[in-house]
Structure 1
Amino acid sequence: MATRILGIDPGLRTTGFGVVECEGSRLHYIASGTVRTDALPNGDLPGRLKIIFEGVREVAARYQPDCAAVEIVFVNVNPQSTLLLGQARGAALAALVSGDLAVAEYTALQMKKAIVGHGHARKEQVQAMVARLLSLPGEPSRDAADALGLAVCHAHAGASQAAIAAVSPLARRAHAQYRKGRSY
């Protein structure tokens, strides 16, 4: 059975979204794009958050994902920017959970490592690898590529988690490392 995953790359001006379907180890591109708030004046934070909330909710309603993956906000050198980004992320999360979606969270480092192979990849590298992994005719926008990368990252993580869960507790214990009487 195929699992549809919605990736969200939150941003106050541009929130990226990407939808992929995972069937076994095969990934299929469904859609991607952005929710843009730049038509509003800079000082209208509540208006921007409303657009993000409604936009993410609309995307979730249109594509009917089974779960979602959202980027975790990193601490920026500018604390004000970090707080604003956190509010945009909160609006996106609220939209997802209001639709009863399970939400997984990944750092940009985790997503880049899963997609490109190292956590300090540039945006262009993520765009190119996402296009390659999903057999896209061209590269998606930066925000959409990050969102698609989060969805792909979650597809890979979900498969790993299912494989771990399938192993019996006794078998997991047999392969655990022991140090000073504790298993790791």
Structure 2
Amino acid sequence: MRVLGVDPGLTRCGVGVVDGVAGRRLTMVGVGVVRTPADAETGHRLLAIEQGIEQWLDEHRPEFVAVERVFSQHNVRTVMGTAQASAVAVLCAARRGLPVALHTPSEVKAAVTGSGRADKAQVTAMVTRLLRLAAPPRPADAADALALAICHIWRAPAVHRLQQAHARARSARPAAPGAHIPAAPAVRRPAGEPPAPASSPRKAP
């Protein structure tokens, strides 16, 4: 499984590609950051992020794209830029028909370090160890992108089993009451018994 992890950001958008399957050794294929100038117009910055992600998709041909799910923060301006960059990553993947997974920061931290409250230094240290890198990825956005890819590789089997369980539960769910009322069975008369006489219509007085 090859996964492109995207840590969305308007100024620095981290990207990292990891190969591997759950339970086996993982390999880093590439890591980097797509940067945009802070003084550029938002539209031009988003276009630069799109072009950068497209280059990574062209070069590494991932099977999945994992993007950090954006949460509200105190700085509304920052979270808006992050959400816009996230949407660009999802768009690039959808254009190629690639499945996209959104993982929360706590899910990524828990998957990589074992604690959903780990700090960035702990995440970077574990990413360096898990991928057997000679040096920690810099900046932190790049390490976070690799952590997203690792998280998806490790969580994908469990998520797939959960989806299958939900599908089986839906298919086995009984019909709602009153959805189908079977017809009343026909009354069988004993052999030789004459049929009941038909009642004559009643006349109005």
Question: What is the TM-score with the length of structure 2 in the denominator?
Answer: 0.75
Deviations 1:143-176 (A, max 9, x none): 1110110000000111223455678959xx9xxx
Q: CA deviation at 1:19?
A: 0.6
Output one character per residue of 1:19-74: Cα deviation in whole Å (capped at 9) or x when no partner: 11114522111111111113xx5251111100101101110111000011000111
Partner SS, residue 31 of structure 2: strand
Matched, 1:33 2:42: no
Alignment match, 1:57 = 54
* Greater mean alpha carbon deviation, residues 118-127 or residues 154-163: 154-163
Instruction: Give the structure 2 partner of residue 145 of structure 1.
Output: 143
1:156 alignment counterpart: 154
Higher strand share: 1
Question: Which aligned pairs between 1:32-181 and structure 2 lie closer than 5 A?
Answer: 32-38=31-37, 41-141=38-138, 142-163=140-161
Match of 1:177 in 2: none
Render the CA deviation track for 1:77-113: whole Å, top value 9, x for unaligned.
Answer: 0222222221111112211211221100001111011
**Cα contact 1:14–1:35 (8 A) shared by 2:** yes
The RMSD of aligned alpha carbons is 2.0
Query: Do the aligned partners of 1:127 and 1:140 also contact (CA within 8 Å) in 2?
Result: yes
Which residues of 2 match residues 11-30 of structure 1 at below 5 A?
A: 11-26=9-24, 27-30=26-29
Decide whether the 8 Å contact of 2:3 with 2:18 is kept in 1: yes
| Aligned AA (2:150) | V
CA contact (8 A) 2:68 2:102 kept: yes
Please give the secondary structure, in 1, of the residue aligned with 2:20.
strand
CA contact (8 A) 1:68 1:101 kept: yes
Change (3 A) 1:111 1:23: closer
C-alpha separation between the residues in 1 aligned to 2:78 and 2:27? Answer: 34
C-alpha separation in 1, matches of 2:68 and 2:163: 24
Q: 1:81 to 1:162 in 2, by over 3 A?
A: closer
User: Which amino acid in structure 2 is aligned with residue 148 of structure 1?
Assistant: L
Q: Give the distance between the partners of 2:141 and 2:150, measured in 1 at CA.
A: 14
> 2:5–2:148: 8 Å Cα contact kept in structure 1?
yes
Assess if the C-alpha contact under 8 Å between 1:56 and 1:96 holds in 2: no
After the TM superposition, which of the residue ranges 61-70 and 112-121 deviates more from structure 2?
Answer: 112-121
- Quick one: percent identity of the two aligned structures? 37
TM-score, length basis structure 1: 0.83
Unaligned runs of 5+ in 2: 173-205
After superposing the two structures, state which structure 1 stretch, 51-60 or 75-84, moved more.
75-84
